[in-house]
Amino acid sequence: MAVPANTRLTFTGIGIREDLSNIIYNISPTDTPFLNGCGRGTADNTLFEWQTDELATPAANRQLEGDDYASTAATEPRRLSNYTQISATQVQSSGTAEAVDFAGRKSTQAYQLAKRAKEMKRDMEQMLLDGTAKVAGGAGAARESASFATWVGTNVIGTTPIVAASTGLGLVNNGAAGYPDGTTSSLGGGANTAVSLSLINEVVGRIWDLGGSPDTILCRSDVKQTISSAAVGGSVVADPVGNTSGSKPITAVNAVDVMVTDFGTFKVVPDRFLPAGNCDFIDFDLWSVDYLRPFRTETLAKSGDSVKQLLIAEYGLRSKNGLGSGMLKSAI
């Protein structure tokens, strides 16, 4: 069938707008469970300090009636410290770029700034977990804040612990040699081991013996799958139970998100930014990210036909007591 003469077709049309969605889809991972789970505190200097203490080991405390008791030897709290580090990113857009009508965003500057904020939050998550020890910094060298693995002591399996298990509680006063103080990473050395429920229980048991009560297991995707497979035995559980009429959809469950152990109930949470094979046992009440300068956006002085903005934060990790957390380094 022929097209009637003079019919206007799209093939020759001028000014037809491209089919560009006004929604920009971003699939980059932005979840930061460690950063979100930690408390938020304040730092008053680039080197911020705090104290931690513990109760004495239980002993046979039986005394004579009427005795003139001797004073019990006092122990001093330990003085710990960490450095703040600076994370920053700058966004700059020309005046023309701000004036042009871009599909999917009203302001290219605002869009890029929001995107960089997500990227910086991911950077922070990775740095807080990457095993970096604290560095004072100096001329030409940035300060580095000690990460999670530098504060975890005896409760480590699959890598060389900062404090050997043979030292018992590993409670050494005032940052003496061996006590986790942010200067040495538990990620270094040792032979990694395969994740198993028995090793998970061993780490949890060590933490409990020291008085800790973590409630979250952070792990990479490979370790998460191993935990799920070990817990359900590789089987698939149908849910809901008793749905014999077929009135509800059947869900195949082959995952573990909550684990009940002899020493507490744990949320099992995947974290994309953990070092490969890592499995961290965390009591978030014992951790905080302390800010010398909270997240802020600063508009920089104009030096031409452009808009310049700086997104910046200065922060460091505080471990209130590293003995309340642990780590399992997997061979996966």
DSSP string covering 236-301, please? -EEESTT--S--S--EEE---SEEEETTEEEEEEE-TTSPTTEEEEE-GGGEEEEEEEEEEEEEPP
| Rounded CA separation 279/222 (Å) | 10
- 30-51+76-329 CATH fold: phage-related protein like fold (3.90.1690)
| Rounded CA separation 264/251 (Å) | 27
**Domain-by-domain residue ranges, the chain?**
30-51+76-329
**Beta strand pairing call for 287-299 and 39-42:** parallel
| Rounded CA separation 42/90 (Å) | 24
The amino acid occupying position 320 is: K
| Rounded CA separation 113/90 (Å) | 8
| Rounded CA separation 10/31 (Å) | 44
Q: Tens-of-pLDDT digits for all 332 residues of the chain?
A: 677 675 566 666 666 555 555 555 666 666 899 999 999 999 999 999 998 877 777 888 888 898 888 888 887 788 889 999 999 999 888 888 878 877 667 788 888 888 888 899 999 999 999 888 999 999 999 999 999 988 886 677 765 444 444 333 333 222 344 467 888 776 655 555 677 888 888 889 888 988 889 999 999 888 888 888 877 665 555 555 555 566 667 666 778 889 999 999 999 999 999 988 788 999 999 999 999 999 988 989 988 898 898 999 999 999 998 888 988 877 54
- The model's pTM is 0.81
